[in-house]
Structure 1
Amino acid sequence: MDDLVQPARALGIHPPAVTRGEGEVRAALGGSVDVHFAGAGVDGLGGVRVEVGEAAAVPNRLAGDRDPLALRLALLTRRHYCGAQFTPGILDEADATLHRWRDGVAVWARAPSRPMPPDVVRDAYAAFENNLDTPSVLGQLNRLADDVDVADGAKFETFVHLDRVLAVDLARDIGAGPD
């Protein structure tokens, strides 16, 4: 388990509070709730069970100089219960999206704050509640980024707010210097 802590930390994933047995992770949330992350066909764990698809390890040669959170973003483009294979093209696209969004957030942060678009927030929350449908949320953010009818301050507030769940550090470049 210890060999997973550093790579997980690079992806913004906190280590589990408690681990038990080979390959079994048990996180204590508020004491009595167990959360188990397991593949299909694993039964008898009790507590909350989150089924996750298999993701192939990304070799260092594929990770290259990309931000480690680009891999996290690439994972978020797939449903959590589906398997994932990553090609250089997929990782390049995630890395480019991450940089584009961070650049946008840094620019939008200079604008006066505006309320988040209620329909975007409502639909994002519904997607999160619908079996953690992160691909839908990412699609909403892509559309919002390109929407010329939405004020920059509203885009900023929405991206930063939804990043509290996505955890890809979209506000990282705010105040970093000239464009």
Structure 2
Amino acid sequence: MIWVREGFWAMSGLVLLVLGTFVGVYVVSPPWQWPSLGVWLWPVVSSWQVGAMLLTACLGGRGAATVAVIAYLTLGLMGWPVFTWAGGWQYLREPGLGYLLGLGLGAWVCGELAFRLPLSLEHLTLAAGLGLLGVHLVGLAGLAVHYPRWSEWLSWAAHYTLTPLVGQLLALCGVVLLAYVARRLGVAARW
């Protein structure tokens, strides 16, 4: 039964990762402005890719989330157009490869903590935050391999880490709330 449940979350996570790569994060106008101005959406420079990984980890655990990330990376490197700029072996030379590989570490860390710590908004936020940190640490290390000169590394680090960070933090907040409610309702895996 555990394999079926974990397989469900791994497949769900793979679908969420693929879709999340192409769906942007938006901020909604405040509800008190809706009657006069309507509902407005402002795009934030980020996608739901990291949010999808965090949601899978918070609901399915470390195994399902890590398997989903490995399947996602495998599909992308085999040429399926699941990465932001298509897919294929050329991604091994991309400066953002470290961030894609960091999804694996983030999935493992977030999924482990999400089910090891008692269920609370604070603990899920900690788990997701450390998962996001794992993505960026591996990504920054990958940039150091591509750009050993400090000035180049710093420029690319700002592009790959600082630019999407606000959107990823907003996605993290949404993921934590959704995962908390789902787990309280008994929707998530139990290990």
With the length of structure 2 as denominator, give the TM-score of the two structures.
0.29
Give the number of the structure whose residues are more often helix, by fraction.
2
Q: Which has the larger radius of gyration?
A: 1
With the length of structure 1 as denominator, give the TM-score of the two structures.
0.30
Relative contact order: is structure 1 or structure 2 higher (C-alpha 8 Å, sep ≥ 6)? 2
